[in-house]
Amino acid sequence: MSVLLLRLAGPLQAWGVSSRFERRDTRHEPSKSGVLGLVAAAQGRPRDAELDDLGLLRFGVRVDQEGTLLRDYQTARNPGWANPKLSYRYYLSDAVFVAGLEGERQLLDSIAGAIRSPEFPLYLGRRACPPSRPLVLDLVDQDLDAALSDAPWQAADWYCARRPGTVRLRTVRDARPGERGIESVRDVPVSFSPERREYVWRDVVESWVQVPGASTEVPDSDGSGGELVVDSATSDGSAVASDRPADVTAADMRASGPPSRPSRADAFDELI
């Protein structure tokens, strides 16, 4: 088996599984339906196309940068409406994930090619959420667990600043046959057809992995102090200067704790 690793990074992301009507929530990590929808769009599949081959891929995600939960209040008007429509849409701001798809190498290689040259625009859950970095990270001959554990840390340079030698990252993946999951999620797509959207359940397992973190402190050219951060996204280990002030640390960002979950568990899985 092989694993296709995708880097999911952007100013905003939204990954849900069951939102309806005026409230559009998001999970705190990418959904399988959202990532497979991205793959289907890259391949140019129509919404009513068969998805059996994609649904069989084993899926997992590593949370490299948690991000912040953001709520957006929106209104919409139409000349035929008596009143404007109101909605609340939740997003993850400044989050970074590594998603993995495990399957046959030939299929994964074709998916990687499609993502690099997609038929349709690609989004991180909704149309308002374009990716900010190349999506394809690597194609490796490993199982899903090993691939998520071994992939270099993909957090932004300013987030990596002054991190310890290793970082502990949360992973969420499909449970193996017979393995007990922490929850069941209805996000395996059977059809994206607007007339008959259909999803089935999967059990998911949560675990933690440790990956190397790298940062080296050096003076800024103006003498004010700063950091030169090794960008873990580069394959040659080259370093790039962080544009984040040196006194802003990951500890400062964590002071308020992780983002709280919305009060409802439902979330939005359409690619809009």
Rounded CA gap, 46 and 43, in Å? 9
Are 14 and 4 contacting, i.e. CB atoms less than 8 angstroms apart?
A: no
Residue 76 lies in a domain: no
Looking at residue 262, its pLDDT comes to 44
**Average pLDDT, whole number, for the chain?**
83
Give CA separation, 75 vs 1, 23, 86, in Å: 47, 12, 5
Residue 256 lies in a domain: no
Tokens 């080296």 belong to 216
Domain count, the chain: 1
Give CA separation, 26 vs 14, 126, 263, in Å: 5, 11, 11
Residue 84 lies in a domain: no
**Partner residues linked to 188 by β-bridges:** 200
**Residue-by-residue pLDDT tens, the chain, 272 positions:** 999 999 999 999 999 887 777 788 899 999 999 999 999 999 999 999 999 999 999 999 999 999 999 999 888 888 888 888 888 999 999 999 999 999 999 999 999 999 999 999 999 999 999 999 999 999 999 999 999 999 999 999 989 986 778 899 999 999 999 999 999 999 999 999 998 899 999 999 999 999 998 644 433 434 444 433 333 333 333 333 334 443 444 444 444 444 444 443 343 344 44
Residue 133 lies in a domain: yes
- Proportion of the chain in helix, strand, coil states, percent, rounded to 5: 15, 35, 45
Rounded CA gap, 46 and 49, in Å? 5
Residue 205 lies in a domain: yes
Residue partners of 175: CB distance under 8 A and separation at least 6: 181, 202, 203, 204, 205
Are 36 and 53 contacting, i.e. CB atoms less than 8 angstroms apart?
A: no
Range of the domain at 32: 2-67+93-213
Are 39 and 123 contacting, i.e. CB atoms less than 8 angstroms apart?
A: no
Residue 23 lies in a domain: yes
Looking at residue 271, its pLDDT comes to 40
Residue 199 lies in a domain: yes
- CATH number of domain containing 15: 3.30.70.2660
Rounded CA gap, 62 and 232, in Å? 15
Looking at residue 214, its pLDDT comes to 62
Q: Each residue of 145-199: pLDDT tens digit? A: 999 999 999 999 989 986 778 899 999 999 999 999 999 999 999 999 998 899 9
Percent of the chain with pLDDT over 90: 64
